[in-house]
Homo-oligomer: A and B are copies of this chain.
Amino acid sequence: MTHQTLRSVIKAADRAISAEDFDSLMDFYAEDATLVVKPGMTVKGKARIKEAFEAIAEHFKHRLTVRQGEMEVMEGADTALVIMKSFLDTVDADGWDLTLVRRASYVFKRSEGGRWLCTVDNSYGTDLLDA
């Protein structure tokens, strides 16, 4: 159940990223969530997360589509660890199609109203340890 719910939530969030609808995207985050922008750079809080996504869209020349791959959910004590393959379809510096594959780790927390909100968004997963 939680697995299906979180898959839907993440799918909707990735759709918002692909559409550059960052206002809607912020609905998926807890107020003081943390986003790993890239190895060595994290930002905290919705305002800064939104700015980071605007910069990411710019970085990918507004040609970014995010797709979800295999996913595992581990739920405990009103939190959930989600690990999933994530595919980023974009273009390289010369305009050629390019797909980046990541093995992401996300933390979600069940809010008082029962909704799952993302508290830590680390699309690099444990690969940060080798970065």
Contacts and interface: CB of A to CB of B under 8 A. Distances in A.
Interface string A19-58: 0000000000011111010000010100000000000000
Copies of this protein chain in the complex:
2
Interface in A96-110: 103-105, 107, 109
A127 B125 CA distance: 10
A83 B120 contact: no
A17 to B, nearest CB: 18
A66 to B, nearest CB: 17
A30 B34 CA distance: 22
Interface in A67-105: 70, 72, 74-81, 83-85, 103-105
Contacts of A83: 105, 122, 125-126, 128-129
Interchain residue pairs A-B with the least CB separation, the first 9: A34-B76, A30-B77, A103-B126, A77-B119, A125-B126, A76-B119, A81-B120, A79-B119, A33-B76
Interface of A: 30-34, 36, 42, 44, 70, 72, 74-81, 83-85, 103-105, 107, 109, 117, 119-120, 122, 125-129
